[in-house]
Amino acid sequence: MSSPSAPGALRGGDVTSSTSTSLYPERPGESRAFEAETVTSFPTKSTESRDAYLDNAKYWLILIVVWNHSLQDFLRGVDRYELREWCGGDSVNVLTHQHARTVYLALNAIGMPLFTAISGYCSRGWLRAAREDEASAAHLLSRVRGASSSLIGTFVGWQLFYMAILYYDVTPAQFWAPIGITWYLLALFMWRTSILVLGGLRDRYILASSLFMGLFVGFTDTATTANGMTFFDLQRIFAFSPYFFFGLLVVKPKYLEQLHDTPYSRRAPPGFITLVVTYVLLYIGMYGTGTKCFDEAQRFIWTIEPYGTSEIYSPFLGCLYRIALYAATCVVGAAFMAIIPSESQMYTALGQRTLYCYLLHILLLRGYDKLMRWTWNDAPLSFRIVASGLWLPLIVSHLTLSPYMNVFKCVVEPDFSSLWRSSRTKSVL
Return the amino acid letter for 29. Answer: G
Report the distance separating Cα 12 and Cα 20, nearest Å: 10
Residue with the bigger pLDDT between 167 and 289: it is 289
Q: Is the pLDDT of residue 33 over 60?
A: no
- pLDDT tens digit string along 61-72? 999 999 999 999
Q: Cβ distance 243 to 329 under 8 Å?
A: yes
Report the distance separating Cα 135 and Cα 111, nearest Å: 35
Report the distance separating Cα 32 and Cα 42, nearest Å: 7
Cα 242–chain centre separation:
13
pLDDT for the residue numbered 103: 96
- The least confident of 75-84, 117-126, 128-137, 200-209 is 128-137
Q: Is the pLDDT of residue 48 over 70?
A: no
- Beta-bridge partner residues of 427: 34
239, burial (CB in 10 Å: exposed 0-12, middle 13-18, buried 19+)? buried
Is 193 contained in some domain?
yes
Is 17 contained in some domain?
no
Is 360 contained in some domain?
yes
Give every CB contact of residue 196 below 8 A, 6+ residues apart in sequence. Answer: 126, 129, 130, 140, 143, 144
* Pure H helices in 83-152: 94-121, 124-131, 137-147
Is 287 contained in some domain?
yes
Instruction: Calculate what percentage of the chain has a pLDDT beyond 70.
Output: 85
Q: What angle do CA 398, 400, 403 make, to 5 degrees?
A: 90
- From residue 349, give the alpha-carbon distance in Å to each of 52, 323, 407: 8, 36, 18
pLDDT for the residue numbered 423: 57
pTM summary value? 0.85
SS3 assignment, position 413 = coil
Number of structural domains, the chain? 1
Is 95 contained in some domain?
yes
Is 11 contained in some domain?
no
SS3 assignment, position 350 = helix
Instruction: Calculate what percentage of the chain has a pLDDT beyond 90.
Output: 54
Q: Cβ distance 143 to 429 under 8 Å?
A: yes
pLDDT for the residue numbered 24: 38
Is 87 contained in some domain?
yes
- The least confident of 122-126, 128-132, 232-236, 352-356 is 128-132
Selection from 134-138, 154-158, 243-247, 250-254 with the highest mean pLDDT: 243-247
pLDDT for the residue numbered 137: 63
In this prediction, residues 229-246 reach a mean pLDDT of 93
* Domain housing 132: 52-412
Cα 324–chain centre separation:
20
Q: Is the pLDDT of residue 422 over 80?
A: no
pLDDT for the residue numbered 153: 87
- The least confident of 169-178, 252-261, 286-295 is 169-178
pLDDT for the residue numbered 16: 65
Q: Is the pLDDT of residue 267 over 90?
A: yes
Give every CB contact of residue 255 below 8 A, 6+ residues apart in sequence. Answer: none
SS3 assignment, position 44 = coil
In this prediction, residues 5-17 reach a mean pLDDT of 50
| Neighbour-count burial for 114-139, b at 16+ CB within 10 Å, e otherwise | bbbbbbbbbbbbbbbbbebeebbebb
Q: Is the pLDDT of residue 320 over 50?
A: yes
Look at residues 243, 242, 244, 224 and name the one whose alpha carbon lies nearest to residue 234.
Answer: 224
Report the distance separating Cα 110 and Cα 298, nearest Å: 13
Report the distance separating Cα 397 and Cα 409, nearest Å: 17
Q: Cβ distance 243 to 301 under 8 Å?
A: no
- pLDDT tens digit string along 111-157? 999 999 999 999 998 998 888 755 566 677 778 888 888 888 899 89
Average pLDDT of every residue of the chain:
84
Is 23 contained in some domain?
no
Q: Cβ distance 125 to 100 under 8 Å?
A: no
Residue with the bigger pLDDT between 120 and 259: it is 120
pLDDT for the residue numbered 348: 93
SS3 assignment, position 165 = helix
Q: Is the pLDDT of residue 21 over 60?
A: no
Label residue 59 by pLDDT band (50, 70, 90): very high
Q: What is the dihedral of CA 71, 343, 30, 42, to 10 degrees?
A: -10
* Pure H helices in 151-263: 153-165, 167-170, 183-198, 203-216, 234-249, 253-261
Label residue 172 by pLDDT band (50, 70, 90): confident
Q: Is the pLDDT of residue 311 over 90?
A: no
